[in-house]
Homo-oligomer: A and B are copies of this chain.
Amino acid sequence: MSYLDHIQACNRWDPADFLPFVVAGEHLGSVRRRFADALTALGSDFSLAGGALHWASAPAGFDDRSQAMSAICEDLERRGLISHRHGERYPVTPGRRDQARFLIDRACAPYFGVRAFGQHVNGFVRGDHGLMLWVARRSASRRVYPNYLDHVVAGGLPWGIGLAENLRKECWEEAALPADIADRARPVGAVTYCRDSDRGLKPDVIFCYDLELPPDVVPRCNDDEVSAFYLWPVEQVMTTVRDGDTFKLNCNLVIIDFLIRHGLIAPDDPDYVALVQGLRAPLGARE
């Protein structure tokens, strides 16, 4: 493994396997060809035209459209065409979160290959012996990436909540970090990638944060999502990321960005420019 391998793993997809997902003339996502075929076989809600899948029966308004998609996803889950529903709703947007055209269940988003947004927090401590990073172990009971290593705080960005508010919520739920600590998290950029996953295409935007924690602030498990927290020397994090695949896939990218910004991966690394560029990959074929 190498740092670059992780970036490539998060950007593995073949445009030939997907069709544009179009709603009211707008390209909002990408659907796997066989999922598109299954949708059109079900009735007249979806149609194929001009090499794209169109949501033909989409109502006009934001609320009506969101409700209609909710009913469609419920039906698709019942038919076994969608694995499950999550309960949280994501915006479906051609660009930013605030440009949502309608909402979709979080777990259904990849089936339609719509852009998703998340937040990851690099929680670190400046110790006597250098930088230490807080690392979380995901619970064995998690549906996705059970037992994998994770950021101290990381989560998706549902519709209807601001970035600061969601960060506070996640900091409390996942690591029992109070609001005054959460508010110290500094936005430091974003990583973007586009990946073919079991459920479909994932064109993701992860907003990255650095949160320097005082040595006496110790995250603790506040829900059932995390089984343990470790405070690791940054060198241990580096070798764990570089040489293995024990971190949740997208965490590797956020950590590589952290290592570059903190000068721990330096410009003499032969892959430096490829890493810096690769961390901001295009979000699908529409760019």
Contacts and interface: CB of A to CB of B under 8 A. Distances in A.
Interface of A: 96, 98, 162-163, 186-190, 192, 205, 207, 260-263, 266-268, 270, 272-273, 276-277, 279-280, 282
A190 B96 contact: no
A163 B253 CA distance: 25
Main secondary structure of the interface of A (DSSP, over half): mixed
B267 A187 contact: yes
Given A186-B263, A187-B263, A262-B186, A276 B192 contact: yes
A80 to B, nearest CB: 35
A190 B263 CA distance: 11
Contact of A260 (B163, B188, B267, B272): B188
B188 A263 contact: yes
A123 to B, nearest CB: 16
22 contacts: A96-B273, A98-B270, A163-B267, A163-B268, A186-B262, A187-B260, A187-B267, A188-B260, A188-B262, A188-B263, A189-B260, A189-B261, A189-B276, A190-B267, A190-B276, A192-B273, A192-B277, A205-B273, A207-B267, A261-B261, A276-B280, A280-B280
Nearest to A98: B270
A187 B273 CA distance: 12
A270 B96 contact: yes
A67 to B, nearest CB: 28
Contacts of A98: 270
Contacts of A189: 260-261, 276
A263 B261 CA distance: 13
Contacts of A162: 268
